[in-house]
């Protein structure tokens, strides 16, 4: 399985992996053959192994999606952006489409039963056993609802810590035509983040699985802070 992943890497990514080998003393084969980041199926029994799940948290515009793309390209994870899953629902014939649209427009949180179902389905459909869940859970209620339905627990949680002013600047410059990238919605989203999402982050910190990452600086500088976290998973 890892061989297929490696063969898809472009030469620039291979270069990065080489740099990582020098910097952190490991190589791609070691990363992909580790006991933690192992193939999706047991070679002998064919049974599905528990995936290695990383939750990626941070305020709006903190750089979650950007850094997830880097992690996917370097470490072969599958990226599940929960915001993207919800946006897809809006444009499908889903009965929840207009409710989801209104909720996102207002900067509030979509009811857990909707989100949890979408995440569970996406994880189960993924043939990869290295998964990034980006942007969930956004509240303690989200977290508990997910645990209740037997969703896969995160092995680690990343938190991109970024000052509010920087997050606002990034969101207003995002330019992806998102209905929630405006000053009124972002203000509400920041309030929701502080009131409802920070307690979840605290919870994972107490559990000892949180990696708090300074989310300021260039994308490259931030990714340099992310690399050792995955390097340590050998």
Ligand X SMILES: O=c1ccn([C@@H]2O[C@H](COP(=O)(O)OP(=O)(O)O)[C@@H](O)[C@H]2O)c(=O)[nH]1
Rounded CA-CA distance 68/79 in Å is: 7
136 binds, among ligand ADP, ligand X, Mg ion, none (CB under 5 to 8 A by kind): ligand X
Binder of ligand X out of 28, 37, 54, 65 (CB under 6 A): 65
Span from 23-31, 71-79, 81-89, 154-162 in contact with ligand X (CB under 6 A): 81-89
Q: Are 138 and 64 in contact (CB under 8 A)?
A: no
* 35 vs 177, beta carbon nearer ligand ADP: 177
63 interacts with ligand ADP by CB under 6 A = yes
189 interacts with ligand X by CB under 6 A = yes
Cis, peptide link before residue 13, omega less than 30° from 0 = no
218 interacts with ligand ADP by CB under 6 A = yes
86 binds, among ligand X, Mg ion, ligand ADP, none (CB under 5 to 8 A by kind): ligand X
215 interacts with Mg ion by CB under 5 A = no
Rounded CA-CA distance 156/138 in Å is: 16
Q: Are 97 and 19 in contact (CB under 8 A)?
A: no
222 binds, among ligand X, Mg ion, ligand ADP, none (CB under 5 to 8 A by kind): ligand ADP
65 interacts with Mg ion by CB under 5 A = yes
Q: Please report how close the Cβ of residue 83 comes to ligand X at its closest, in angstroms.
A: 2
Q: Please report how close the Cβ of residue 3 comes to ligand ADP at its closest, in angstroms.
A: 30
Residues near ligand ADP (CB under 6 A) are: 58, 60-66, 170, 173-174, 218-219, 222
């Amino acid at each position: 399985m890892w061989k297929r992943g490696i063969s898809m890497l472009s030469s620039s990514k291979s270069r990065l992996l080489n740099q990582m080998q020098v910097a952190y003393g490991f190589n791609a084969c070691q990363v992909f053959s580790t006991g933690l980041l192992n193939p999706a199926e047991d070679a002998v029994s064919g049974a599905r192994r528990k995936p290695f799940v990383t939750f990626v948290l941070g305020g709006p515009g903190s750089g979650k999606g950007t850094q997830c793309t880097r992690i996917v390209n370097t470490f072969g994870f599958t990226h599940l952006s929960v915001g993207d899953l919800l946006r897809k629902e809006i444009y499908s014939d889903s009965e929840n489409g207009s409710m989801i649209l209104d909720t996102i427009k207002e900067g509030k949180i979509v009811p857990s039963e909707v989100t949890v179902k979408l995440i569970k389905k996406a994880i189960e459909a993924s043939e990869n056993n290295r998964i990034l869940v980006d942007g969930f859970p956004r509240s303690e209620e989200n977290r508990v609802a997910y645990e209740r339905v037997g969703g896969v627990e995160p092995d680690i949680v990343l938190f991109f810590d970024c000052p509010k002013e920087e997050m606002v600047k990034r969101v207003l410059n995002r330019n992806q035509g998102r209905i929630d990238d405006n000053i009124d919605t972002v203000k509400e989203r920041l309030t929701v983040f502080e009131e409802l999402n920070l307690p979840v982050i605290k919870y994972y910190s107490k559990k000892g699985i949180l990696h708090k990452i300074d989310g300021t600086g260039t994308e490259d500088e931030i990714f340099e802070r992310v690399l050792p976290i995955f390097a340590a998973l050998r």
